[in-house]
Structure 1
Amino acid sequence: MSAVTRPPNRLLQALPPAEYAQLHPLLETVDLTKETALADAGAPVQRVYFPHAGVVSMMINLSDGQSVEIATIGRDGAVGASAALHERPLLADAIVVVPGTASVVRAEDFREAADRSAEFRTLVALYEQALMAQTQQSVACNVSHPVEARLSRWLLRARDLCGSEALPLTQEMLAQMIGVRRNAVSIVAHGFQQAGILRYSRGHIEITDIDGLRKAACECYATVKAHAEQLIGPED
């Protein structure tokens, strides 16, 4: 398979031709169904997912029953890559929040492919750094920035991962993603709709003014994007 026909995933696109040629026969395309758990915290990683579209949320469950998102993964990354490479469990649950598709490979096959190539291992290590930077920025953002900025940052990231202004998301889910109560999201979303930035109905949000949403976001969106581009290259 030539580079131009590779799946639309940034890491698969970044692999050198020889490395991708070895990995390609081991890949299977699967649907990412909303609310499906791709991997559980503390359990061995069985498969590595390279999303083509959709959004996967890395969630930590707290003892009081709440869940906190620490990172989002989509077509710019992989779910379980570093954990599979080092044969260690994930530290968070991987939950599909926006449906899509992905290439998937068994963890042992992924490990063998990486063992054969220093370039492959380097790419995984760089992506791990980018994901860690996103996690740290997300935690800082949720502690320091107002709901308007956090919601804008999350929606911009989801738009990048899905390649669409239309997102099948409820306000309840958005509240969970940014760590606030639903009524806080409802108030902000209503203000954004009044300003022409968003249009929403139950289970569906559409970004109608991308520039307005960018102005409402904090610096965290651009910072995370810049880190990823520096480490694994710009998106095509």
Structure 2
Amino acid sequence: MDQVTPTNVDVSSGGNNLLGALRAAEFALLKGSLRRMDRPAGAVLYEPGDDVRTVYFPCAQTVVSFMVMLDDSRLVEIGLVGREGAVGGIVSQGRLPAYARAVVQIGGPMLRLESAELERAKEQSAALRHLFARYADCLLAQIFQSVACNAAHSIEQRTAKWLLATLDRTGDEEVTLTQEQLASMLAVGRSYIGRVIRELRASGAIDTGRARLRVRDPQMLEAMSCQCHASVRQHFETVLEGVYPTGNEVAGHGVVITNGPLFRP
């Protein structure tokens, strides 16, 4: 299997680490077809059953959630994707229906690519196919860990884990989020999550305001969290070294978002 080495080019405007891991020759196969877009929080990219015709690469602080609806109409989050990854048909051949809802959790810039264009590029490059196959392994590991975490760990641990995962992906200590949204994602009652938030605030780990949370002490959150977040991050480092974001790093490694054309430094 070809090794794909991150370009490690610093950028100032943010980008997508997965695309940044491509060598120049592989990136050139996609560059002409990538389009910049911005999506606000709450925008739905796919509903279950939708024909997946577009691939989205979240950039900078943008975060997308995969949500599954239960038979009582509750929506439960089963995965987060930020600048380390992509959403929609990365490995599969052809246009397949979406299984989960993909919704923008934290709004911002993305790069979009038609699935057909990605398939053509993968036909021309084994390195491109291998990179996205390794990313699919990392995403599946995240979902496996999420299932185990939801079954075995407390709401307090899961809340701390979610905040840490979001902090990594956004590089921003502040998260715009209501208690209702967080309760829905963790599949618990609002009163329960309200108590957890009050405990985190009393400990000094976070501050709260109107529809926002601010992380004050990530190390304290690490101590309160389970090991699931660290396990997923470690798997990314093993399979796709340098792609998983860590805290307040500059996002991107090679893909720059500007108001003009996409370019590579």
TM-score category, normalised to shorter length:
over 0.9
The amino acid across from 2:41 in the alignment is: K
Bigger drift between 158-167 and 88-97 goes to 88-97
Q: Extract unaligned runs of 5+ from structure 1.
A: none
Corresponding residue to 1:230 among 238, 247, 261: 238
Q: What are the equivalent positions in structure 2 for 1:77-156 lying under 5 Å apart?
A: 77-82=85-90, 85-156=93-164
Deviation of residue 63 (structure 1)? 2.1
Higher helix share: 1
- The aligned residue for residue 188 of structure 2 is 180
* Residues 1:21 and 2:23 aligned together: no
* Residue among 196, 199, 206 paired with 2:214: 206
User: Distance between the aligned counterparts of 2:105 and 2:200, measured in 1?
Assistant: 22
Q: So what's the TM-score if we normalise by structure 1? A: 0.94
Q: Name which of structure 1's ranges 35-44 and 79-88 shifts more when overlaid on structure 2.
A: 79-88
The separation in 2 between residues aligned to 1:99 and 1:7, in whole angstroms, is 14
Deviations 1:42-67 (A, max 9, x none): 22112101111221100111221111
Q: 2:41 aligns with which of 14, 34, 38?
A: 34
The structural deviation recorded for 1:3 is 7.2
The Cα RMSD (Å) is 1.7
Q: Secondary structure at the match of 2:76?
A: strand
- 1:48 and 1:147 mapped to 2: Cα distance? 32
Using the TM superposition, give the Cα deviation of residue 90 of structure 1 relative to its aligned residue in structure 2, in angstroms: 2.3
State, as a whole percentage, how many aligned pairs show the same letter: 36
- Alpha-carbon distance in 1 for matches of 2:196, 2:158: 10
Q: How many residues align?
A: 235
Q: Distance in 2 between matches of 1:181 and 1:160?
A: 26
Deviation by residue 1:77-118 (Cα, 9 ceiling, x = unmatched): 000143654532222110111112111111111111111111
